[in-house]
A and B are shown apart, each in its own frame.
Chain A
Amino acid sequence: MNAVLRRNGLGLVAWLVGIVFFLPIAWMALTSFHSEADAATNPPSFAASLTLDGYREFFGSGGGASPWPALINSTVASVVSTVCVLLLALPAAYALSIRRVRKWTDVLFFFLSTKMLPVVAGLLPIYLFAKNTGMLDNIWLLVILYTSMNLPIAVWMMQSFLAEVPVAVIEAAQIDGARLPTVLARVVAPIALPGIAATALICFIFSWNELLFARVLTGVVAETAPVFLTGFITSQGLFLAKVCAASLVVSLPVLAAGFAAQDKLVQGLSLGAVK
Chain B
Amino acid sequence: MWSRIRKNVLPLCFCLLIVITILATFIGCKEEVTTTAPPVTATVTQTVAPPATTTAKPAPKDKIVVGMSRSFSGPIAIIDDSAFRPVYETWVKEVNAAGGIFVAEYGKKLPIELKTYDDKSDPATMAQLTEKLILQDKVDFLWGGGGTSFIYAQAPIANKYNYILITMEGGATTLQEMLPSLPYVFVTLPFSTWYEMPVLADMLASKGVKSAYIIYISDLHGVEYNGAAGIEFGKKGIQILGSKAVPPDIKDLSPVIKEAKASGADAFCAFAYPDQVFPAVGMSIELDYNPKVWLGGPGINFGFFHTGFGPMVEGVMGWAGWNRKSSAALNTLADKLYKDKPEDAQDWWGQAYYWAGLDMWKAAIEKAGTLDNKKVRDILATERFQTVLGETWFDKGLLNKETHAGEVGQWINGVYEVVGPFDKATAEWVYPKPAWPK
Are A and B physically bound partners?
no
Chain A contact residues, CB within 8 Å of chain B: none
Chain B contact residues, CB within 8 Å of chain A: none
